[in-house]
């Protein structure tokens, strides 16, 4: 995103295009964060299930 900013600021990239590309990059980053959170949550849930299964007589 910093590159997009610098390119737009220098006039090498249209500001509207830089804005659209930055929006897309932010959306991708959000998807990656959500995916990471879902994977970590699933791993914790599996660990808790295993722990509870071991605790049962």
Q: Average pLDDT by consecutive 10-residue portion of the chain (57 residues)?
A: 95 97 97 98 97 86
- Which residues have CB under 8 Å from 26's CB, separation 6+? 1
Gap between the Cα atoms of 40 and 37, Å rounded: 5
Give the pLDDT of residue 22. Answer: 97
pLDDT of residue 57: 73
CB 25 within 8 A of CB 1: yes
pLDDT, position 56: 79
Query: What predicted TM-score, i.e. pTM, was given to this entire model?
Result: 0.75
Q: How high is the pLDDT of residue 28?
A: 98
């Amino acid at each position: 995103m910093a590159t997009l900013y610098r390119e737009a600021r220098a006039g090498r990239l249209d500001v509207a295009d830089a804005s659209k590309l930055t929006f897309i990059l932010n959306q991708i980053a959000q998807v990656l964060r959500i995916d990471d959170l879902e994977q970590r949550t699933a791993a914790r849930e599996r660990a808790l299930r295993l722990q509870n299964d071991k605790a049962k007589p």
